[in-house]
Structure 1
Amino acid sequence: MSKLGDNLRKFRQAQKLTQKQLAQKAGIPQSIISQLETGSAQSTGSIVELAKALKITAEELKGNLNTTNLREIESQIHFPQFDEMLVRMNILKTEGKLTDEQLRSIENIINSMTKSIHVLMDNFMLLHEKKK
C-alpha cells in the first residue's frame, strides 16, 4: 500500500467514515478511494477534494508534512493583521484617542496572542513527533 493510501485510510477511519461516506462528502466515486487505499492507484486528481472532505491539507494526506516542514512553517508565521492593528493604535494614540497605557495593553494582548499561536504549533509538533 502507498503512503497516500495508508494516510487516506488512517484519516478516514479516524473520522469514522466509510469509503462510501467519504466519497459522498468529496463528490467522487467510491472506487477511487478503494483503489487509493489498496494501492492499485498511486495518484489521483481527487486529492484536494479528499483532503477538504477530511478537513486536512493535501500535504497531510500525501504524507509530505513532517516535523521539519512544520518548524519551517512556524518560523515563517507572521501576522500582518497584528502589525496593521499596532499601526492603527499608534495613530489613535497620536490623535489623543488612546493613552500610552491603553496602547501598551493592546500591544501586550497582541504579543500574547502571537505567543499562544506559537505554543499551539509547538504542541502540535510534539504530538506529531510522538506519532512517529
Structure 2
Amino acid sequence: MVIVKPNLTPLLKDMGLTQMDLSDKSGVPQGTISRFDKNSRHEANHLFSIAKALGVTIEELFIVEHEE
C-alpha cells in the first residue's frame, strides 16, 4: 500500500517563503495554498504551478510511504 502525504509546509519553511510569497509566484490563491496540506485531492494545474514556482518536482510536494 502507498500512503501519500502533502509536504508543502516544510518545503516553504526550508525555502524561507510564506504562503503569500508562493501565491504571488505561482498564481495559486493563498487560501488554496493554506489548505494544501489538509486536502487529499489537489487540482493538477495547482500542482504544476506550485512545483514550478518552487523549482521542485511534483513528487517533492509529497511524502510517499510504502507499507506492506
- Structure 1 length as normaliser, TM-score? 0.41
1:47-90 per-residue CA deviation (whole Å, 9 max, x = no partner) reads 111111111100111234xxxxxxxxxxxxxxxxxxxxxxxxxx
Return the structure number with greater strand share: 2
Structure 1: tracts of 5 or more residues without a match: 65-132
Identity %: 36
Return the structure number with greater helix share: 1
Q: The residue matched to 1:3 in structure 2 has which SS?
A: strand
After the TM superposition, list the runs of 4 or more consecutive aligned residues in structure 1 that deviate by more than 2 angstroms.
none
1:13 to 2:47 alignment: no
Q: The residue matched to 2:17 in structure 1 has which SS?
A: coil
2: distance between equivalents of 1:44 and 1:34?
A: 14
- Two-structure CA RMSD over aligned residues (Å): 1.5
- Give 1:62's aligned residue: 62
1:3 to 2:5 alignment: yes
- Give 1:36's aligned residue: 36
Larger radius of gyration: 1
1: distance between equivalents of 2:54 and 2:63?
A: 14
Structure 2: tracts of 5 or more residues without a match: none
